[in-house]
Structure 1
């Protein structure tokens, strides 16, 4: 489609881009613009339409508004509706500006030079495209926020005198994911989980806390490998655990990510280290032909350096103004969608969560939240969260298979990785962090208290080496507090029947305490 050309705006439909509406309705805002300009972009998670009823309701990814919300069927009308009710979808806006060309946007500003929506559009056009419209600087009008902070999370930002707009976007044109306010996210942020964790550990004795922290760190490292289907030797798990324990001490940039990849991979004889020099995908290969069957296609290798620079700018800038968990979700999931390396992306993605939380002082000193362990427990939900974007992204990537069983991307896809909706990812990560505070941390400290009490009781009763006390405790845990026939006949054959009964009673009393 030539710049400035478009199809007529749609009337009432029952299906839009293979997404059924709750009832026949007229797509508006971003949906109308995507349809009219045939924009090849991932369709937003939530779309808007004008329904026949006189009530606003939300269902199946659609928000249906009343006939009185109907915008004027024009570029101005639908853009204004989108900014007012749907927030910013930067990928859609950039594609729209490129499709419409500069004059229609300039005409919107000329028609309402002091209007808040027109000035926001003007600013966004020049910010996204790095090109000036043929317009003089704004001379009047109160400063307006680029991001409606009631709809989406924003930063303090800087002022643009040319547009009389305050740029509170949480990123740069090189990389700027957006996160919507939701009741769930607002409640999590208000809860202040970091303070909760600090209050919780303040009641734990120092020696017990140190052992708890060591266990949780090792557990997180092991889980991060298990998520990738790997079962490495213990020394490799411990080495990666040490790296996680140092998260937040160094700024994230390309060199630091490559350093971490070297540590993650270990034996690099068959893996290219550093940024990819060809395409990449996540998925399977056809068993007969070897052709790729992608579930997710990574960013083009030509775009990697710019995207990593954008991530690094986010880490140094906007990430330090957002809530730490929101920033961690945006950075970590944005990284894994880019998938800049041939191998090691998954573990580095989860490392970035620890990096942001530690750098911002969210975790208590010396303690790592075992986020990977929680993700492993919720692996199906984790994959569904990853698919909230991958599935919307995949249809808009044109690719062909290479002789080596890889993919070659044929269209410009960089903006798909620069601008994405990180709302589901932020909610998932908050749930994981909350579980570590509500369940894992108290459970581990309680376990160690019980173990220490059990060890003390057994030591007073029998002269037994620590390794056997540990084995005894594990046997009891695995068999509902009873010593199995095998344990009585082998490892603990020396126990008398009375001693065995006493040990089981000690264990039971501690469990019920």
Structure 2
């Protein structure tokens, strides 16, 4: 007797995640992203998504550095914003080694060392006065190509499935493989938007500031760390006594490391078959909040700002750039005219004109929509 096997597994032997269709997951996946974006258009204007695109891209980039506890990274924030705008949904195969090299180079800069798939061991941890604490161990660098092929197999096998689930699995699967020497976290969050774009869940040019949502509240920030820990803590409990720090060695990609893990082969099953149920649930929560709250708030601010510009120009005609500077200064200084504003704009020497300008701008923000 012959048997036909229906291979409907979401991946391959190199990477095949589990996502349990719990009631909570089903509810998260029921969120209609396209409808929610249309609601924004209906509420704030048909082109609101395009008008906020540049700012939302920059906001996503800036928040991504906050997640990694890096601030005051002006040039790097601009570079990552450029990468998001240029490559999100545009690369033929975003998980290929060539594409990842391109994304990483855009994030880190042309002169960054050790670009491409890593050729050295890596762990996520922290240093204290007494010791190095290891929170997570990534797969052996020799296994990285096969795990990435497995992740690509998942991407191929699940095309047409729920975009939110695919985005969560691809993004978190990537960060656990940790294939790059640097930039893994930013690429991980880039892949959320990239997957949603490829699946047609968001239009070209629209970026969901998911990193801004993650940093927007303690609940989401702690939830992000807790979600990452779901896999890493189980791995570390099993292999807590299997790593050590030995002699410092320089690896092929230029990394100098003394980290030694003795059970890569035994641990392969964990990296191959992760349970990413909670990761998909968290991704769904973040995306819904991003659209319903973060993007709605930004759209509301933009509408008010444009109203203020219009009312300001009814008092005194001026270029948009000058109007924006005046509006920002007045708003930041509690509707008071600063000395710097008077110095840069002599029109504020006239008290009557000044009063009309302040009232025009303030009323735009205080009038209910």
Same fold (TM over 0.5): yes
Helix, strand or coil: the match of 1:356? Answer: helix
Question: 1:338 maps to which residue?
Answer: 177
Deviations 1:310-351 (A, max 9, x none): 011112222x13211111111111111111121111111111
Q: For each residue in 1:188-227, what CA deviation from the matched residue of structure 2 results, as whole angstroms up to 9, or x when unmatched?
A: 2223122321343366556654321121112112222332
> In the alignment, which residue of structure 1 is the partner of 2:22?
182
Aligned to 2:227: 385
Which whole-Å CA distance do the structure 2 matches of 1:308 and 1:380 have between them? 28
What's the CA shift string for 1:456-484, capped at 9, x where partnerless?
211221345543422222233334x5226
The 2-side partners of 1:278 and 1:366 are apart by 36
Q: Pick one of 482, 489, 500 that aligns with 2:335.
A: 482
Residue equivalent to 1:279: 121
CA distance in 1, matches of 2:168, 2:24: 15
Q: Hey, what does 1:415 align to over in structure 2?
A: 269
For the 8 Å contact 1:254–1:309, the answer to whether it is kept is no
Q: For the aligned residues, what is the CA RMSD?
A: 2.6
Q: Is 1:506 equivalent to 2:360 in the alignment?
A: yes
Gaps of at least 5 residues in structure 2 are 249-256
Aligned mates of 1:226, 1:274 — CA distance in 2: 24
Structure showing greater radius of gyration is 1
Give the Å deviation of 1:417.
1.1
Distance 1:272 1:232 in 2: 24
User: Which residue does 2:105 correspond to in 1?
Assistant: 262
Q: 1:358 to 1:503 in 2, by over 3 A?
A: same
- Higher RCO by CA contacts (8 Å cutoff, separation 6 or greater): 2
Displacement of 1:267 after TM fit? Answer: 5.3
After superposition, the Cα gap between the structure-2 partners of 1:241 and 1:165, relative to the gap in structure 1 and judged at 3 Å, is same
User: For residues 362-409 of structure 1, what are the alpha-carbon distances to aligned partners after superposition, in whole Å with 9 as ceiling and x for unaligned?
Assistant: 112321111122123233321121111111111222212133354222
The partner residue of 1:311 within 145, 151, 156 is 151
Give distance in 1, aligned partners of 2:41 and 2:71.
Answer: 31
Secondary structure at 1:457 match in 2? helix
Query: Given the superposition, is the C-alpha separation of residues 204 and 434 from structure 1 closer, same or farther in structure 2, using an over 3 Å criterion?
Result: same
User: Equivalent residue for 1:247?
Assistant: 88
Match of 1:354 in 2: 193
Distance in 1 (alpha carbons) for counterparts of 2:289 and 2:69: 23
For residues 418 and 199 of structure 1, the distance between their equivalents in structure 2, rounded to whole angstroms, comes to 39
In proportion to residue count, which structure has more helix?
2
